[in-house]
Amino acid sequence: MSVPTHPITRWLSKAPAPVFSAYAILTSFVVYFSMYAFRKPFAAATFENQYFFGSNLELKTALVISQIIGYTISKYLGIKVCSEVHSENRAKTLVALILFAQGSLFLTALLPGSWKFVALFINGIPLGMVWGLVVWYLEGRRNTELLLAGLSCSFIVSSGMVKDIGRNLLASGMSESWMPATVGLLFLPIFLFFVWLLDRLPPPTPEDVQARHERVPMDHNDRLSFLNSFLWGLLSLFVVYFFLTAYRDFRDNYAVEILGELGYSQAPAILTRTELPVAFGVLVPLALLVFIRNNRLGLIAAYSIMLFGLAMMGAASMLLDRDIISGVTWMILIGLGSYLAYVPFGSVLFDRLIASTRASGTAVFAIYVADAIGYTGSVGIQIYRDFSHADVTRFLFFKNFTYQISTFGFVFMLLSLFFFLIKQNASETQTEGMLLDLETGPDDEEALQEA
């Protein structure tokens, strides 16, 4: 392992674990939080009574879909880019991606009406790779669950907060066209400074590598080998993630409209109020996984959190239908449930999978395959709703979607868990047999046969 050269890196390599964790969480949190200032502010605008080139497709839907398509392409690109990038290029790549995204926001302001879809499509292309580059700094450490739990809170709270900032700018008289670029400019210095701080993190220690397996860049053959080894378990996960990403994105992009139908359109900072309890509720159980040293048990615990989240979504909707809880409480509970199921995909699930199976590679690769599939589903659901259920309000469509994903998602998640448990049992049996052969040796085998 190379000797750290920067003073901050040397200090962190000798710092107590709580200090190191606080630094890693803070810097990664702010970097990814700031990324949302370049992605989500436009969703604070309603683009009311505007349609895409005179069609039946609402302009906001078209803009959301355009950005998601770009973001989805970014996830497919990230399968290669994020799994192959080397440590010395991560910070440079992060800065280049964000500057590209900010340029597209200026283009959004300049293009008229329906043509804004071009700028938002371009905007999504760089932003989808930011998550993987940030996760690279945190994975493969003994306290990865804690670090990734802190990081995951960033995208839970950031979307609501930057949209609230956007709404305040709109209320002050700023146009819907210029608001996104303005929010991006406000966060650009913050992003650049915290990327610089994040890049000072030292690499995993030898003790980290022993506990969580070494994480190395993956070439084409490595990626194929990984997929072939875990194909059926991954397929079940990817089916769930396909719909779960679409669900999470629908809630995020149309939270203003859904809360409006529930009677909260004028409530101040309502988006922040619904997301902060969700962030805390997700942070605690994921952070507690750090205390589970056995990687097999850690994987089971991660699945248990996800299954609980899916069940919570259905239960909360039943309570709403029976007028037992309010609309805001429902938004908080389904947000908590969906993020409990969603967040482990981008953080602890694949990290524990690699650690428990000792597979060669990086969790970032598996995360990006899942994300590419998930955001493909997000595009599909957006189009499906506007063309097949245009007469159904977004709230009713979303509530029915909640029941469906809660039910079938639970089943497919269980199937995936059973696959990986069986796979690990078979792998452990094979390993024990190989060790026995090494201990016995050829002479002992002949003696056993004669006996």
Each residue's pLDDT tens digit, 338-370: 999 988 887 678 877 777 776 666 777 778 888
CA proximity to 196, closest of 355, 320, 90 = 90
Q: Are 108 and 123 in contact (CB under 8 A)?
A: yes
Read off the pLDDT of each residue in 411-422 and give the average, rounded to a whole number: 90
| pLDDT tens-digit readout, 28-59 | 999 999 999 999 888 888 788 888 888 877 88
Read off the pLDDT of each residue in 384-399 and give the average, rounded to a whole number: 84
* 308 Cβ neighbours under 8 A, 6+ residues apart: 337, 340
> Would the pLDDT of 449 be above 50?
no
Measured distance CA(251)–CA(61) in Å, rounded? 13
pTM, rounded to two decimals: 0.72
pLDDT of residue 267: 63
Three-state secondary structure call for residue 218: coil
3-state helix, strand, coil in the chain (%, to 5): 80, 0, 20
Please report, rounded to a whole number, the percentage of residues in the chain having pLDDT higher than 90.
37
pLDDT of residue 436: 47
Label residue 334 by pLDDT band (50, 70, 90): very high
Written as one letter, the residue type at 144 is T
11-43+53-203+215-428 CATH choice from 3.90.1660.10, 1.20.1250.20, 1.10.10.10, 3.40.50.720: 1.20.1250.20
Measured distance CA(327)–CA(164) in Å, rounded? 19
CA proximity to 197, closest of 35, 24, 14 = 24
Q: Are 71 and 375 in contact (CB under 8 A)?
A: yes
Please report, rounded to a whole number, the percentage of residues in the chain having pLDDT higher than 70.
88
Q: Are 332 and 278 in contact (CB under 8 A)?
A: yes
CA proximity to 26, closest of 147, 161, 137 = 147
Tokens describing residue 355: 């650690």
Q: Are 152 and 91 in contact (CB under 8 A)?
A: no
Cβ atoms within 10 Å, residue 179: 24
Three-state secondary structure call for residue 51: strand
Query: What is the b/e burial string over 190-222, where b = at least 16 CB atoms within 10 angstroms of the residue's CB?
Result: ebbebbebbbbbbbbeeebbebbbebebbeeeb
pLDDT of residue 360: 64
Cβ atoms within 10 Å, residue 393: 13
| pLDDT tens-digit readout, 97-119 | 999 999 999 999 999 889 999 99
Measured distance CA(390)–CA(322) in Å, rounded? 26
Q: Are 37 and 180 in contact (CB under 8 A)?
A: no
- DSSP assigned state of 58: B
Q: Where are the alpha helices (DSSP H) in 172-290?
A: 179-198, 206-212, 220-229, 231-253, 255-261, 270-288
Rg (CA), the chain: 23
What is the distance of C-alpha 45 from the center of its chain?
Answer: 24
> Would the pLDDT of 236 be above 70?
yes
Measured distance CA(57)–CA(383) in Å, rounded? 9
Measured distance CA(241)–CA(126) in Å, rounded? 22
First CA to last CA distance, the chain:
50
| pLDDT tens-digit readout, 128-139 | 999 889 988 887
CA proximity to 158, closest of 279, 250, 249 = 279
Tally DSSP H helices, then E strands, for the chain.
Answer: 18, 0
Measured distance CA(244)–CA(439) in Å, rounded? 48
Measured distance CA(63)–CA(118) in Å, rounded? 9
pLDDT of residue 32: 94
Handedness of CA 344, 153, 46, 62 (dihedral sign): negative
CA proximity to 130, closest of 78, 83, 174, 79 = 78
Which residue's entry shows tokens 């283009």?
107
Cα separations (Å) of 434 from 100, 117, 357, 438?
52, 58, 16, 6
